[in-house]
Amino acid sequence: MLVPCEVAVKCVLPAIRSMIAKELTTKYELKQTEAAKLLGLSQSAVSLYSSKMRGRAIDLEKDEDVTKLVGNITNSLIENDEVPYNDFVNSFCEICRIVRGKGLMCKLHKEFDPNIDIENCRFCSIVASLCYKP
């Protein structure tokens, strides 16, 4: 049995990193090594994210709120060469809160744990509404 945060770590966070890596390498035309340095990752990790070999379990690119926040993260990385740790963490947490609050992770969670009744589960939306919002 996986709790929602475990699903988020396994699937949502890699999807966010994938979106950031893609934006850095396409929109800003950074080389993978440059994007990796900004993200604190290896070049091979950025390559896996960019080619969708990693971070493909959930598609968050269609959600406007998520793409807006990913854009904010990437802009901050480009403008500042480094985003303060607390800002970076808060941005990821805010995206996760949005994903959970909108129920975007429910079907994926059901795949990991078939016993979950996603029709009646409101855990993520309740917790997301209680989470700290910067």
The answer to whether the CB of 133 falls within 8 A of the CB of 90 is no
Q: Tell me the C-alpha to C-alpha distance, in Å, between residue 108 and each of 22, 23, 34, 45, 99.
A: 22, 24, 32, 23, 12
> What is the pTM assigned to this prediction?
0.88
Other CB atoms within a 10 A radius of the CB of residue 115 amount to 6
pLDDT at 3: 85
Burial class (CB in 10 A: 0-12, 13-18, 19+), 15: buried
Tens of pLDDT, residue by residue over 74-87, are 999 999 866 788 88
Contact 97, 105 (CB under 8 A): no
pLDDT of residue 63 exceeding 90, the answer is yes
Name the average pLDDT for the chain.
89
pLDDT per residue over 2-18, tens digit each? 788 899 999 999 999 99
Average pLDDT over residues 20-36: 95
Could you list the residue range(s) of the whole structural domain that residue 49 is in?
Answer: 4-130
Q: Name the pLDDT band for 58 (thresholds 50, 70, 90).
A: very high
Under the banding of pLDDT at 50, 70 and 90, the label for residue 121 is: confident
**Half-sphere exposure in the Cβ direction for 113 (13 Å, CA):** 14
Give the Å distances, CA to CA, from 34 to 18, 58, 77, 80. 15, 25, 11, 14
